Amino acid sequence: LEDGKVSVTRAAGSVTFPAEFMLVAAANPCPCGYLGDPKRECKCSPRMIMKYHSKLSGPLMDRIDLHISVPMIEPDKLAIFEHKPSESSEAIRKRVMAARSIQSKRFKKAGIFSNSGMKNKHIKEFCNIDKEAFLLLKQAVNNYGLSARTYFRLIKVSQTIADLAGDTGIKQNHVAEALQYRIREQE
Ligand SMILES: [Zn+2]
């Protein structure tokens, strides 16, 4: 199974189709759901939590770029109609469109459409990582024992963060943000 392709295997044989998709998934932090909750106590044993997490395989988790903890929201804070977001959806949409347009220009001749479609050779060709950013990336790989796959995915996410910020190259703060989305794996 490669990025941009999906294979279907049946008794009659195996077929590969082109596919572009985004996987979004959610899971509880533990079987009871209260692990890390400031108000309610988690009743699960460490063994139960480990068993629960082991159901999601490492290679699958490795392919999910952004891991985010979503804490429980208190009922009185659920008054969504009074809530004023710091950045409106319309403003975010504009930033995303701008980032997509940077990417389609960047990859015009490479036959790909977005940062996530980059193969390793594209990363070498198109990503401009400054010295400090590269150092941070190297440190993270050594400290957390990250796989080569995670390393390259981190660069791609960093490039997207840089594009969203309107920066031309990958800087240390972009790598730092990309690493944040991987922290859950290391817990
Ligand atoms: Zn629990």
Which tokens belong to 1? 């199974």
* Contact of 31 with 48, CB cutoff 8 Å: yes
Which of 80-84, 94-98, 181-185 has the lowest average pLDDT?
A: 80-84
What is the pTM assigned to this prediction? Answer: 0.78
Q: What is the pLDDT of residue 4?
A: 64
Average pLDDT over the chain, rounded to an integer: 87
Q: Indicate whether 24 pLDDT > 80.
A: yes
* Contact of 181 with 140, CB cutoff 8 Å: no
State in Å: Cα 49 to ligand 1 middle: 7
State in Å: Cα 26 to ligand 1 middle: 16
Q: What is the pLDDT of residue 74?
A: 72
State in Å: Cα 187 to ligand 1 middle: 15
State in Å: Cα 185 to ligand 1 middle: 18
State in Å: Cα 47 to ligand 1 middle: 11
* Contact of 179 with 133, CB cutoff 8 Å: no
State in Å: Cα 13 to ligand 1 middle: 43
Comparing CA positions, the residue from 22, 181, 33 lying closest to residue 114 is 22
Task: State pLDDT tens for residues 109-124.
Answer: 999 989 999 999 999 9
State in Å: Cα 56 to ligand 1 middle: 17
Task: State pLDDT tens for residues 38-86.
Answer: 889 999 999 999 999 898 888 888 888 998 888 777 777 666 656 666 7
State in Å: Cα 37 to ligand 1 middle: 9
